[in-house]
Amino acid sequence: MGRSSRNQRSATISILVVCEGKAEENCLKHIKKLIGRGGKYNLKIVSVNGKGASNVLQRALNIRNYSNVYSAVFVFFDTDTDYNKQKFDKVVSRSTTRKCSIHCMPSDPCFEINLLELLGINVNPYSHLDPTGYLKDVFESEFRCKSHEIVWDKQGLTLKNFQSIKLFKPLFEYINK
């Protein structure tokens, strides 16, 4: 006798997303909401609460190694603190397996540059002595809040808006493959 349709479930693909701070976490939770619940993909979003790029990668690897359920790991972090591309590439290449790929998603110099682009504001932070501080100031000036305080539901953005931002493309390419 076959299973009842109530007991049959389509296979869900679990993706671990580890990010550096609250701004990334809130934005990624909004993307998760736009992708929808009950679909083919389950995004687990974890923030390390601003502890730097190396800690983000280490936390992602620890979770991935402890839990054997993820088919991919996406690591979002800023490059303005302790990011070393060669070191990260070496760790990622050693840690990627056939069962679970790891994707580094660096924001140069910080996540706010992606948020400003997403919201239609293009700036050149490198003409300033403190590019990260400048981007945070521009964000606060434009939106009258810090980047982690923005209410994404009120911005009128669609999944297509997020898909157009370079930082998010690998995540969407993975989901759409």
Tens digit of each residue's pLDDT (9 = 90 or more) over 11-41: 788 999 999 999 999 999 999 999 876 678 8
Identify the CA nearest to 53 among candidates 88, 27, 25: 88
CATH of domain 13-175: 3.40.50
Express each pLDDT in 54-110 by its tens digit.
999 999 999 998 888 999 999 999 999 888 889 898 988 888 877 788 999 999 999
CA distance 74 to 56: 10
pLDDT in tens, 106-119: 999 999 999 999 99
* Sequence-separated contacts (24+) of 53-56 with Cβ below 8 Å: 53/20, 53/77, 53/78, 53/79, 53/81, 53/82, 53/83, 53/88, 53/106, 54/82, 54/83, 56/18, 56/19, 56/20
Q: Which residue do the tokens 């690998």 mark? A: 170
The one-character DSSP state at 176 is: T
pTM of the model: 0.88
Q: Angle at Cα 26 formed by Cα 110 and Cα 101, nearest 5°?
A: 70
